[in-house]
């Protein structure tokens, strides 16, 4: 299926629910779960250091350094599987990427809080391509300035093999999150391809 534009004001969010066929998505989940160098990183939350509620990894070109929630990350070199995915995703997104942030949500108890991908090194209108594998989780979006944008939070299911694109003014006007769920789910693996420019 092609990418479909979601009807959100002041945003450009597009979704292809089956970018990868199920067999390819399944094989990739196994390969990445076992070969990626996963870490659990601390983050600063209201001045306190706590562990992130998920595992992460950062891969990319050597100069694609990135600071994320108060931690500075040096990318690990592309693996062949990540390099191939980067090329496929670039074609569909029509934009270049020099790095990928991987998130492993080990169960429904792992999550990501409300945030925008608005770090200065991503520029004012970043293109972010997000590929999901494994368990389907809900991806929520809510306006950053609700008083200026009369719109409720929206929630999308991101199934295995889906590709979500966020671009244009999306990060400026919207926040996104992956909430916890009590559903007994297996792991979900998400890759967000980004273009980081040096400061």
Ligand X SMILES: O=C(O)CCC(=O)C(=O)O
- Residues interacting with Fe ion, by CB under 5 A? 117
Question: What is the distance between the alpha carbons of residues 10 and 111, in angstroms, rounded to a whole number?
Answer: 26
Determine if 73 is a binding residue for ligand X (CB under 6 A): no
Q: Where are the alpha helices (DSSP H) in the chain?
A: 22-35, 80-93, 170-173
Among residues 86, 167, 173, 176, which is the contact residue for ligand X, using CB under 6 A?
Answer: 176
Among residues 32, 36, 129, 178, which is the contact residue for ligand X, using CB under 6 A?
Answer: 178
> At its nearest, how many Å lie between Fe ion and the CB of residue 117?
4
Determine if 192 is a binding residue for ligand X (CB under 6 A): yes
Q: Which is nearer to Fe ion, 98 or 130 (CB)?
A: 130
Site for ligand X in 81-110 (CB under 6 A): 101, 103
Number of residues that bind ligand X (CB under 6 A): 11
Neighbour count for residue 101 (Cβ, 10 Å): 22
Give DSSP secondary structure letters for 156-198. EEE-TT-EEEEETTHHHHEEEEE----S----EEEEEEE----
Determine if 32 is a binding residue for ligand X (CB under 6 A): no
Question: What is the distance between the alpha carbons of residues 140 and 160, in angstroms, rounded to a whole number?
Answer: 17
Sign of the dihedral through C-alpha 115, 35, 25, 168: positive
**Pairing status of strand 66-68 against strand 55-60:** unpaired
Q: Which is nearer to ligand X, 147 or 178 (CB)?
A: 178
> At its nearest, how many Å lie between Fe ion and the CB of residue 69?
10
Instruction: Give contact residues for ligand X (rule: CB under 6 A).
Output: 101, 103, 112, 117, 130, 139, 158, 176, 178, 190, 192
């Amino acid at each position: 299926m092609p990418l479909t534009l979601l009807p959100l004001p002041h945003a450009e969010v597009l979704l292809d629910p089956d970018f990868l066929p199920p067999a390819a998505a399944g094989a990739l989940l196994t390969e990445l779960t076992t070969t990626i160098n996963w870490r659990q990183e601390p983050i600063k939350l209201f001045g306190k250091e706590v562990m992130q509620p998920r595992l992460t990894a950062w891969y990319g070109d050597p100069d694609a350094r990135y600071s994320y929630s108060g931690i500075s990350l040096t990318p690990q070199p592309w693996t062949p599987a990540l390099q191939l995915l980067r090329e496929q995703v670039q074609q569909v997104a029509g934009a270049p990427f020099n790095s990928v942030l991987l998130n492993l949500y080990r169960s429904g108890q792992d999550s990501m809080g409300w945030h925008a991908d608005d770090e200065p090194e991503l520029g004012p209108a970043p293109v972010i391509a997000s590929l999901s594998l494994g368990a389907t989780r809900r991806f929520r979006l809510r306006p950053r300035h609700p008083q200026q944008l009369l719109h409720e939070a929206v929630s999308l299911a991101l199934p295995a093999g889906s590709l979500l694109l966020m671009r244009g003014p999306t990060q400026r006007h919207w926040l996104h999150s992956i909430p916890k769920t009590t559903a007994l789910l297996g792991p979900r693996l998400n890759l967000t391809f980004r273009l980081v420019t040096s400061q």
